Structure 1
Amino acid sequence: MTQQGTPLPDVLRRRATDEPAARAYVFVNEYLEETAVLTYRDLHTRALAVAEQLRRHCEPGDRALLLFPPGLDFIVAYFGCLFAQVIAVPASPPRRNHVQDATYRIVRDCAPAVVLTVGAMLEATRAALEPLHPELRWLPVDQLPDAPDGGFEPQPCPPDAIAFLQYTSGSTSDPKGVMVSHRNLSANEEMIRRAFGHDAYSTVVGWAPLFHDQGLIGNVLQPLHLGATSILMSPGAFIRWPLLWLSAISRYRAHTSGGPNFAFDACVARAARGGLPELDLSCWKVAFNGAEPIRPETLRGFADAFAPFGFSENALYPCYGLAEATLLVTGSEKGRGPRMLEMDTEALGRGRYAAARGGGGRTLAGSGIALSDEHVRIVDPETLRPCPDDHIGEVWVAGEHVARGYWGRPEATAGTFQAECAGEPGRAYLRTGDLGLVVDGELYVVGRLKDVVIIRGRNYYPQDIEHTAQSSHPALRAGGCAAFSVPGAGGEKLVVVQEIRAEQRRKADANEVAASIRAAVLREHELSVGDLVLTLPGRLPKTSSGKIMRAAARKRYLEAGFELWTAQTSSVA
């Protein structure tokens, strides 16, 4: 176990000295073959070599853009930045030699001095980014020496120095760089350790992208904090073969693994087709579910599907967090299993809690309890006063794990990270932008403050409408729906944009699909869909963790429109 407050370079240095041959990170391919391994000594030595090269081109505090395919070179590059005291900026790697728009915006925002990548990506990435930032230096990590030449000596790392910028787009298309310090990381890693019940034998299996906070902080830095082993695979391998994830958990006897809600749904859907591999999931003690709305039916379905393989429902671990709080804010209690709450929908629409009577309410899955060394409040976003226990409000968080702010955005930092709650003068809170309530100590997240649809004075939470819409017909794509409101002739009107499943593009009847959606939304929410847009797969913008970017979808709807789907043709509207 690492002492809280120890900067990461010191943690790695100690591991490399005390247990140099221990396997820190293992990367497996789609056949579960180990294609790369890093011991603590390997990582320490290679990271120092990268740091030596960085200091030849950069000054402490300069930014380094990290663009890597799935694999262990990213980890070497990241720790090289830490040793050189250069600020790492993880970003989504190019796909098919195409650099994403978000990456261009990140480069403009943080003005990196150097790009760390691999040789195979170098030329295409350089051709795309050099016109935007001609003075960039380029370092292919896989082509650098495996050890420093002896002339570089890392300096002590100040606890409040920035460890990396975690860019987050949230529900908008404008990325903001969250400044995560060494102190923030140390505090949150220790919170995770205690909440998950981890020790040095708690093997972690993960497939989340390493440029995403869940992949980096949860699947890379938490095992280092523990002295445990991390088994990593590519996100693409999971998407193509969801049960490969479970096979890795079974083979490596993982204690902890998880992902967004859709990952558990994907496994259930694949299991329903039969032909499952041999699995023993009795080792899995923390199956964390976070990064998007947690569905009660997902939790129940996964537990039922994999109970015959030794999986315990009590291992399900709903949690809640965000990049602005480093990663984790609330989590279930290990071994307890999820909590559910039946809410009256009428009260929910008025922003209050009341227990559902006689069925017909909305079931919410809890996101766990507040963790040690933090303060979580439910606050009225207008009056800035704490809400009564039965009222829904904005989730506010305070603690050492709350990040320093947004890179180069003092006004946004003040508004988001330096809020004061009435009755608690002098304590700065993070305004998460999420709406929720606490019942019997459990946090229940109901939606995003900016995404709430208000029609005729009643609040509707878009993820509920989206779930209803995409579940109304088998031709509709799960995770491919956006609900939002726009001005109409008689006030706000509801717009639903829904993607069709690829294999149904020329099979399903468009009129039948549309009628199913409208009927389901009217039946479940007593709400008429003002405009329904059926579009093709992959048209809705999403964040790196798979969340629908509703603000960006609304903007596109109002400006250029979406490519429409019909049974035979498509057009733009």
Structure 2
Amino acid sequence: MSPEMRLEDYLDAEGNIEIPVGVTLTSFMDRHAEQSGEAPAYRYLDYERDCTVELSWSQMRTRLRAVSARLQQITDSGDRIAILAPQGVEYVVGFFAAIQAGGIAVPLFAPELPGHAERLDAVLGDAQPTVVLTTTAAAAAVRDFLRTIPRDRRPRMIAVDAVPDAVGEHFTPVHIDTDDIAYLQYTSGSTRTPAGVEITHRGAATNVVQMIESVGLDWNTRSVSWLPLFHDMGLLMIMFPALVGAHITLMSPVAFVRRPYRWIRELGASDAPTFAAAPNFAFELAAQRGRPPAGETLDLTNVAGLINGSEPVSMASVDAFVDAFAPYGLDPAAIKPSYGMAEATLFVSTTESGSAPKAVHLDRQALGGGDVVQVDADDPDAVISVSCGQIARSQWAVIVDPQTEAELPDGRVGEIWLHGDNIGRGYWNRADETELTFHNKLQSRLTDRSHAAGAAESALWLRTGDLGVYIDGQLHITGRVKDLVIVDGRNHYPQDIEATVSEASTAVRSGFVTAFSVPGVGREEVVIVAERAPGAGRADAAPIVEAIRAAVSRRHAIPLADIKLVAAGVIPRTTSGKLARRACRARYLDGTL
């Protein structure tokens, strides 16, 4: 390995990504400390306490050794170590210390996260951690929560910030194999018990290299993130500096939502190339409320890449963001609509470096039948689809007929299947689900222009459950297999119906709508649940419902069985903040919405 990390260190003779033997997520921590010393590593902007907490690489090594040594005193290799801590540098230390100690990290969240106690209990029951890492400030809430767990499987608790540095003298380096499990990434679990994806050191390291190479980042790029650290995208952000020695500035999701300008200001706070990632709603929110106050200067010419992923990308949100911040030097090509998922560690595809986001307009009727027909933007049946770009190096994505398991040609909609070293090993303690999701074989490939070219014939493929299509070599995401609304034999994409509802009335909170089908008499029927917009809490429901019904009938030619107008925040969400469509459907059906 060279003294300075280079992309070439991770490529074989054919140009494929190959992680060197022995590399783990904590391999380079000591080297960063020796080379960078007091240079910043992880920095947290604490808006609650109005202070900044920063760890240099030397301090990071000291804290990691101390917490790792403490864990080694009470755990065995391979034990699960859960992190139930608030956002901050202590969370980062806990995550990497769990791995460095020879354990399997389980990144979770503090119990005070509203509405998710049941999920936290389910995950702890599944992972069976022997230790929970938290902070002194959160210790009381975590202790109270752990008391609800039967004593025979109740984990011990350690406050990361209460472990003295001197304990690090007892740290003993352990052998960790590149193909060992580094952590369990639990899926959102909107309608079932969350499943823990087994992410190996090879998988995570491969995915970081894929992201760097695809986005076009320098190895010294600084990054900024408010993403929850238990979320797959938030985790990948903190792995980037761990592997390459760059530094990251963190803040809490609440700090961003309350004042989006905090994120925008930090993006432009340095002349160094800066990288960030966020879900689509963040771009829309920042465009609405994230401009600098009068008299404050802002320079975003340094922003090298802004991944827009984790939820469907809206071209309207991208355009609004560009309109808001191009006057401050933002390059539109810096915004990178992307596709990813926890089972692939995270990153799958993004737009080409230097290329601005692109969208095409597709015929709604043809798309419902699985075909792509491009139409003009003003076509009454036009559906906007945003390109998620090209697949990362050393990763394959094929569009498959889920019934025949045969590869489909470009222009045909099917299920996305993935293959590559970044793919998770399976689901923790779920052999049957692992077999169904991770161990699939392509029954046939295209003889010409196959997207499986280069992957072994014996390759195992991840069945994503996502629907997609290749258009002009670019991957477009069209929906989820299980979310398709099928009425009278015709397919309808719920996000398409939801967009129509959002536009139908100003009394509807834009983007906070779910559409799903329910059993009817001899057919499936469609139900809409929509949150009321600010200021529309007491508006008469009748004209709103009438406007929604008329718009959906006109554009989609489907009747609506029911329309529920609810208060803001009523539609259930995943822990990463996305609307949980299937959970909403379940609550509607059992009467608990």
* TM band (smaller chain): over 0.9
* 1:523 counterpart letter in structure 2: R
Q: Which one of 125, 135, 153 corresponds to residue 142 of structure 2?
A: 125
CA contact (8 A) 1:172 1:550 kept: no
Q: Deviations over 1:150-187 (max 9, x none)?
A: 22211121111111111012553421101100010111
Q: Report the equivalent of 1:111.
A: 128
What's the offset of the Cα at 1:275?
Answer: 4.8
1:205 correspondence with 2:236: no
CA contact (8 A) 1:206 1:231 kept: yes
TM-score, normalised with respect to structure 2:
0.91
Change over 3 Å in CA distance of 1:501–1:93 after alignment to 2: farther
* 2:55 counterpart letter in structure 1: L
CA contact (8 A) 2:134 2:158 kept: yes
Of 382-391 and 275-284, more deviation after overlay is shown by: 275-284
Distance 2:210 2:292 in 1: 39
Q: Report the equivalent of 1:240.
A: 258
1:76 correspondence with 2:108: no
CA contact (8 A) 1:87 1:164 kept: yes
1:159 correspondence with 2:178: yes
Q: Report the equivalent of 2:31.
A: 14
Distance 1:89 1:271 in 2: 33
What's the offset of the Cα at 1:122?
Answer: 1.3
Q: Report the equivalent of 1:344.
A: 363
CA contact (8 A) 2:278 2:310 kept: yes
Q: Deviations over 1:434-468 (max 9, x none)?
A: 00001121000000010000001111111111122
Q: Report the equivalent of 1:265.
A: 284
Of 79-88 and 512-521, more deviation after overlay is shown by: 512-521
Q: Deviations over 1:201-220 (max 9, x none)?
A: 31111100111111111x21
Q: Which one of 311, 314, 323 corresponds to residue 333 of structure 2?
A: 314
What's the offset of the Cα at 1:20?
Answer: 1.8
Change over 3 Å in CA distance of 1:102–1:82 after alignment to 2: same
Q: Which one of 9, 21, 46 corresponds to residue 63 of structure 2?
A: 46
Q: SS at the partner of 2:184? A: strand
What's the offset of the Cα at 1:29?
Answer: 3.3
Change over 3 Å in CA distance of 1:275–1:105 after alignment to 2: farther
TM-score, normalised with respect to structure 1:
0.94
Q: SS at the partner of 2:269? A: helix
Q: Report the equivalent of 1:569.
A: none
Q: Report the equivalent of 1:513.
A: 544
Amino-acid identity (%):
37
Q: Report the equivalent of 2:452.
A: none
1:278 correspondence with 2:309: no
What's the offset of the Cα at 1:277?
Answer: 4.3
Distance 1:423 1:163 in 2: 34
Q: SS at the partner of 1:446? A: strand
CA contact (8 A) 2:26 2:242 kept: no
Distance 2:219 2:468 in 1: 35
Distance 1:321 1:96 in 2: 24
Change over 3 Å in CA distance of 1:19–1:274 after alignment to 2: closer
Change over 3 Å in CA distance of 1:80–1:96 after alignment to 2: closer
Q: Which one of 394, 400, 414 corresponds to residue 373 of structure 1?
A: 394
Q: Report the equivalent of 2:16.
A: none
* 2:383 counterpart letter in structure 1: R
Q: How does 1:388-399 map to 2 (within 5 A)?
A: 388-399=409-420
CA contact (8 A) 1:67 1:90 kept: yes
Q: Report the equivalent of 2:453.
A: none
What's the offset of the Cα at 1:546?
Answer: 2.2
* 1:499 counterpart letter in structure 2: E
Q: Which one of 142, 145, 163 corresponds to residue 164 of structure 2?
A: 145
Q: SS at the partner of 1:546? A: coil
What's the offset of the Cα at 1:225?
Answer: 2.1
Distance 1:97 1:236 in 2: 12
1:229 correspondence with 2:247: yes
CA contact (8 A) 2:42 2:247 kept: yes
* 1:480 counterpart letter in structure 2: F
Distance 1:350 1:256 in 2: 39
Q: After TM superposition, which residue ranges in structure 1, 4 or more long, deviate above 3 angstroms? A: 29-34, 96-99, 271-277
What's the offset of the Cα at 1:255?
Answer: 1.8
Of 545-554 and 340-349, more deviation after overlay is shown by: 545-554
Q: Which one of 483, 487, 497 corresponds to residue 519 of structure 2?
A: 487
* 2:42 counterpart letter in structure 1: Y
1:55 correspondence with 2:87: no
Q: SS at the partner of 1:35? A: strand
Q: Report the equivalent of 1:496.
A: 528
1:472 correspondence with 2:491: no
Q: Which one of 356, 359, 384 corresponds to residue 405 of structure 2?
A: 384
Change over 3 Å in CA distance of 1:247–1:271 after alignment to 2: closer
CA contact (8 A) 1:67 1:117 kept: yes
Q: Report the equivalent of 1:566.
A: none
Distance 2:398 2:524 in 1: 31
CA contact (8 A) 1:87 1:163 kept: yes
* 2:170 counterpart letter in structure 1: G
Q: Deviations over 1:524-559 (max 9, x none)?
A: 222221111111221211112222222211111111
Distance 1:351 1:96 in 2: 40
Q: Report the equivalent of 1:523.
A: 554
What's the offset of the Cα at 1:503?
Answer: 3.8
Q: Deviations over 1:84-141 (max 9, x none)?
A: 1111111122227986211000011111111100112112221222231423111011
Of 525-534 and 170-179, more deviation after overlay is shown by: 170-179
Q: Which one of 447, 462, 466 corresponds to residue 479 of structure 2?
A: 447
* 2:246 counterpart letter in structure 1: A
CA contact (8 A) 2:400 2:417 kept: yes
Distance 1:535 1:483 in 2: 14
CA contact (8 A) 2:71 2:98 kept: yes
Q: SS at the partner of 1:163? A: strand
Q: Deviations over 1:500-527 (max 9, x none)?
A: 2354313x22112212222222222222
What's the offset of the Cα at 1:488?
Answer: 0.7
Change over 3 Å in CA distance of 1:447–1:146 after alignment to 2: same
Distance 1:152 1:272 in 2: 47
Distance 2:313 2:71 in 1: 41
Q: How does 1:352-367 map to 2 (within 5 A)?
A: 352-357=371-376, 359-360=379-380, 361-367=382-388
Distance 1:176 1:31 in 2: 33
CA contact (8 A) 1:65 1:89 kept: yes
CA contact (8 A) 1:70 1:234 kept: yes
Change over 3 Å in CA distance of 1:126–1:97 after alignment to 2: farther
Distance 1:42 1:519 in 2: 62
* 2:565 counterpart letter in structure 1: L
Q: Deviations over 1:50-76 (max 9, x none)?
A: 111111111111111101111100011
Of 245-254 and 436-445, more deviation after overlay is shown by: 245-254
Of 430-439 and 14-23, more deviation after overlay is shown by: 14-23
Q: Which one of 555, 560, 572 corresponds to residue 541 of structure 1?
A: 572
Q: How does 1:399-414 map to 2 (within 5 A)?
A: 399-414=420-435
Q: Which one of 351, 357, 362 corresponds to residue 332 of structure 1?
A: 351
Distance 1:66 1:494 in 2: 40
Distance 1:98 1:32 in 2: 24
